[in-house]
Amino acid sequence: MAAQLESSGDLQLPVLRRTAARLRELLGPDKEVRRIIDLGSGPGVMTCVLAEAFGDAEVVAVDGAPGLLERALARAGRLGLGDRVTARHAELPEGLVGGDEHGEGGLGTADLIWSSKAVHHIGDQQGVLDALAAMLRPGGLLAVAEAGLPMRYLPRDIGVGRPGLQARLDALLEEWFEAMRTELPGSTRVVEDWPAMLGRAGLSGTGSFTSLLDLPSPLDETARSFLHGHLTRLHETMGESLDAEDHKTLGLLVDPEAPEGILRRPDAFLLSATTVFTGVRPER
């Protein structure tokens, strides 16, 4: 998954840079940002964007996969950011607690904590938001990218199989997501009203903003390769849950030689919306 995660991040770079600029605005021109934590950093794409946007800050990539942290450090080195980007291996949520303000013995405190699609992998989502809010320095900002809209990349009718394949794939993904959440240690149901959850964590000025990635057809090779990887994973992991016709159609879409496949279709596009929820730790 490492290469696929980095490829996805590279496609999202325009969105990530706009997001970092918006976080800078929310913190305000007078807020000194000395330390940033990227929780669930993966291969470090957003880690490096944050280091570029906040030129005086140390940015700490935090992930449970050592291989992804290695990629994050390598990426920072290639971009000339290696002196300000560090990595910390931590399993969540246990790795959040303890330590001094620099992270000795734990993750420490920060002026900005960024987390993208990581909180939903923890059973007690409110509990982890509480812990993250407590790690903020006064006036610090917690930004959590969750929810948004399902990615779109094909017309409703693609000319083979039954129309509406994406809608059926979305439904399967929702079932998978619920099963994943249910099986997590300490899984706790909560109304996923993220601004309200941030408020219960003691943060003020809660709100959200959404950024759109819009890559029209025809897609370049990078975007097509990303979609091919996405559909290949669906074919491998959810193929048995599809009926015979949809399974055949999905197999055709991932066939690298088929004219109807995602690597060759002239009508493939990429449209996604990412929503970021934010809150500020009060100065007192």
Tell whether the model's pLDDT for residue 98 goes beyond 80.
no
Tell whether the model's pLDDT for residue 274 goes beyond 70.
yes
Amino acid code (one letter) for 205: G
Give burial (CB, 10 Å; 0-12/13-18/19+) of 178. exposed
Report in angstroms the alpha-carbon separations of 266 from 65, 155, 259, 269, 277.
37, 11, 9, 9, 35
pLDDT band with cut points at 50, 70 and 90 for residue 102: low
pLDDT at 221: 93
DSSP secondary structure code for residue 219 in this structure: P
pLDDT at 272: 94
Cα 205 from chain centroid (whole Å): 23
pLDDT at 227: 95
pLDDT at 5: 79
Global pTM?
A: 0.93
Among the four given CATH numbers 3.40.50.261, 3.40.50.720, 3.40.50.300, 3.40.50.150, the one describing domain 1-147+192-212+274-284: 3.40.50.150
| Phi, psi for 172 (deg, rounded to 5) | -65, -40
pLDDT at 2: 74
Residue 4 or 173, more confident: 173
Q: Where are the beta strands (DSSP E) in the chain?
A: 35-39, 58-63, 85-89, 110-116, 136-145, 149-152, 204-215, 270-280
Give burial (CB, 10 Å; 0-12/13-18/19+) of 169. buried
**What are the residues facing 85 on neighbouring strands?**
59
Q: From the CB of residue 77, how many other CB atoms can be counted at a distance below 10 Å? A: 13
Cα separation of 33 and 125, whole Å?
A: 26
At 154-211, the pLDDT tens digits run: 999 999 999 999 999 999 999 999 999 999 999 999 999 999 999 999 999 999 999 9
Task: Please count the helices (runs of H) and the strands (runs of E) in the chain.
Answer: 9, 8
Please compute the mean of the pLDDT values over residues 11-40 and round it to a whole number. Answer: 96
pLDDT at 106: 73
Residue 77 or 94, more confident: 77
Report in angstroms the alpha-carbon separations of 211 from 112, 131, 217.
19, 26, 19
Measured at the alpha carbon of residue 147, what is the angle toward residues 141 and 150, in degrees to the nearest 5?
145
Residue 235 or 4, more confident: 235
At 205-248, the pLDDT tens digits run: 999 999 999 999 999 999 999 999 999 999 998 888 999 999 99
Domain coordinates of the chain in residue numbers?
1-147+192-212+274-284, 149-186+217-268
pLDDT at 101: 59
